[in-house]
Amino acid sequence: MRMTWTCFSPGIFLDYYSPSSPRTTGRDKLASSKTLWPAGFTFIVDFDKKTAEIPGDGDTGTIAFTAADDVGGFVAAACTQLPLSAWPAGEWGICGGLYTPNDIVNIAEKVRGSNGIKDWLMVGPLQTQYLLQETISRMDEDTDKGDVAEAFHWKVLLAVLKDELLIKHKAYGVNYEFQDLETFIRKWWPM
């Protein structure tokens, strides 16, 4: 008997763009999720500091985003709308939207900025293409001296430049409405 499996691949969680608040333990928690990595992972745009960190030219690399709640919603919809035999074996790519770094900045500016992009500090184009993979590996290995979050941050920016964060959404007959980036930001950062 052969066993099959399905792994849902949602890309980057939109929830990293939700505001954070301190927990009683002193660590931050994201307003939209209590289970994701504590706040501190800034990806392309930091809403608190109004900064944007653009890898490359900003048009290179497409990033898949999905809200954490939408993963559960989509899986629940798939369970009720499709028999397991119709699920794909292996990876099932799902996402709420595909964006370049410049798309993310433009949406952030549209929702949170009123005086144009000059309100945002543009840190870039980053020279991440010159950062050797071996350097990042050493940052990972040397956890006593290195910062795991910083190493992860650089890995993700390199993945953008290599276009490794593109996940093509495949619904396979499941009817579910995902949140897009603009809807998510307007929900968690109302003006």
For the chain, helix (H) and strand (E) counts, in that order, are 5, 10
The average confidence (pLDDT) of the chain is 78
Give 88 or 45, the one with higher predicted confidence: 88
pTM for the model: 0.79
pLDDT tens readout for residues 166-186 = 888 888 889 999 999 999 999
> Predicted confidence band at 55 (pLDDT cuts at 50, 70, 90)?
confident
Among residues 148, 100, 147, 156, which one has the least CA distance to residue 128?
A: 156
Residue 99: pLDDT band with limits 50, 70, 90: very high
Token digits for 101? Answer: 């770094």
* % of the chain with per-residue pLDDT over 70: 72
Which is more confidently placed, 134 or 149? 149
In contact, 155 and 131? CB cutoff 8 Å: no
> Would you say residue 109 has pLDDT above 70?
yes
Residues 37-57, mean pLDDT to the nearest whole number: 73
What angle, 0 to 180 degrees and rounded to 10, lies between the N-to-C axes of helices 101-112 and 181-188? 40
How many Å apart are CA 124 and CA 132, to the nearest integer? 18
Residue 103 confidence (pLDDT) above 70: yes
134 vs 170, higher pLDDT: 170
Per-residue confidence band for 72, with pLDDT thresholds at 50, 70 and 90:
very high
Please report, for the chain, the start and end positions of each structural domain, with discontinuous segments joined by +. 6-180
More confident residue, 26 or 15: 15
**Residue 16 and residue 13: Cα distance in Å, rounded?**
6
Task: Indicate the pLDDT class of residue 128, thresholds 50, 70 and 90.
Answer: very low
- Here the tokens at position 56 are 């490359």
Instruction: Judge residue 144's burial from the number of C-beta atoms within 10 Å of its C-beta, 0-12 exposed, 13-18 middle, 19 or more buried.
Output: exposed
Three-state secondary-structure class, residue 181: helix
pLDDT band at 17 (very low <50, low <70, confident <90, very high): confident
Token digits for 119?
A: 């309100």
Q: Residue written as tokens 């794909």?
A: 88
When mean pLDDT is compared across 32-36, 76-80, 100-104, the lowest value belongs to 32-36
